[in-house]
Structure 1
Amino acid sequence: MTQISILGCGWLGFPLAKALLKEGFKIKGSTTSTGKLKTLENAGIQSLLLTLDSNTVPNEFADFLIESRTLIIAIPPKLRGKNKDYSDAQQNSFVKKIENLIPFIEKSTIENILFISSTAVYGEANDIIDENSIPAPVTESGKQLLEIEQLLLSNANFKTTILRFGGLIGEDRNPARFLAGKENVANPDAPINLIHLQDCIGIILKIIETNTWNTAFNAVTPVHPTREVYYTEKALAEKLIPPTFNHEILSVGKTILSDKLVQQLNYTFSRLDL
Structure 2
Amino acid sequence: MNTITLIGCGWFGFPLATQLMKQGFQVKASKRHPDDLAQLQQAGIEAYQLDLANVTTQVKKATLFDADAIVINLPPGLRRGETDYLGYLTQLKNLMGERQYQKVIFISSTGVYPSLNQTVTEQDAGAFNDTSHTLLQAEAIFSAMANSCVVRFSGLVGPKRHPGRFFAGKTDVSGANVAVNLVHLDDCIAAVSLILSRTDTLPIYNLTANEHPTRGAFYAAAAEHLGLIAPQFNQQQQPSKIIDGQLISHQLGFQYAFSSPFKMLDAC
Normalising by structure 1, we get a TM-score of 0.88
Q: Distance in 2 between matches of 1:32 and 1:100?
A: 14
1:99 aligned residue: 90
1:118 aligned residue: 109
Q: Distance in 1 between matches of 2:57 and 2:149?
A: 23
Give the 5 Å matches for 1:30-41: 30-41=30-41
Match of 2:226 among 238, 258, 265: 238
Structure 1 residue 251 and structure 2 residue 241: aligned? no
- Distance change >3 Å, CA 24–CA 190, structure 1 → 2: same
* 8 Å CA contact retained: 2:7, 2:31: yes
Q: Distance in 1 between matches of 2:72 and 2:114?
A: 22
Q: Distance in 1 between matches of 2:200 and 2:6?
A: 17
* 8 Å CA contact retained: 1:194, 1:221: yes
Q: Distance in 2 between matches of 1:217 and 1:55?
A: 31
TM-superposed deviation, 1:271: 1.8
Structure 1 residue 185 and structure 2 residue 200: aligned? no
1:84 aligned residue: none
Q: How many residue pairs end up in the alignment?
A: 261
2:248 aligned residue: 261
TM-superposed deviation, 1:246: 2.1
**Secondary structure of the equivalent of 1:80?**
helix
**Secondary structure of the equivalent of 1:132?**
helix
- Distance change >3 Å, CA 103–CA 239, structure 1 → 2: closer
Amino acid of the structure 1 residue aligned with 2:253: N
* 8 Å CA contact retained: 2:49, 2:58: no
- Distance change >3 Å, CA 55–CA 47, structure 1 → 2: closer
Structure 1 residue 62 and structure 2 residue 62: aligned? yes
Q: Distance in 1 between matches of 2:54 and 2:36?
A: 23
Match of 1:149 among 139, 164, 179: 139
1:10 aligned residue: 10
Instruction: Identify which range, 212-221 or 175-184, moves more after superposition.
Output: 212-221
Q: Distance in 2 between matches of 1:266 and 1:213?
A: 11
- Distance change >3 Å, CA 76–CA 265, structure 1 → 2: same
Task: String of CA shifts for 1:39-98, please: whole Å, max 9, x gaps.
Answer: 1111110000111128969454322112x01110011011127xxxxxx85xx3211111
Instruction: Identify which range, 24-33 or 145-154, moves more after superposition.
Output: 145-154
Match of 2:99 among 108, 120, 123: 108
Structure 1 residue 79 and structure 2 residue 78: aligned? yes
Q: Distance in 2 between matches of 1:200 and 1:237?
A: 23
Q: Distance in 2 between matches of 1:93 and 1:55?
A: 14
* 8 Å CA contact retained: 1:57, 1:101: no
Q: Distance in 2 between matches of 1:203 and 1:125?
A: 27
Structure 1 portions without partners, runs of 5+: 82-87
**Secondary structure of the equivalent of 2:77?**
coil
TM-superposed deviation, 1:252: 1.3
TM-superposed deviation, 1:239: 1.5
1:85 aligned residue: none
Q: Which runs of 4+ in 1 moved over 6 A?
A: 54-57
Instruction: Identify which range, 163-172 or 202-211, moves more after superposition.
Output: 202-211
* 8 Å CA contact retained: 2:126, 2:133: no
* 8 Å CA contact retained: 1:56, 1:100: no
**Secondary structure of the equivalent of 2:122?**
coil
TM-superposed deviation, 1:147: 0.4
TM-superposed deviation, 1:265: 1.3
Amino acid of the structure 1 residue aligned with 2:84: S
Match of 1:199 among 187, 190, 195: 187
Q: Distance in 2 between matches of 1:139 and 1:254?
A: 18
* 8 Å CA contact retained: 1:188, 1:227: yes
Q: Distance in 1 between matches of 2:54 and 2:48?
A: 19
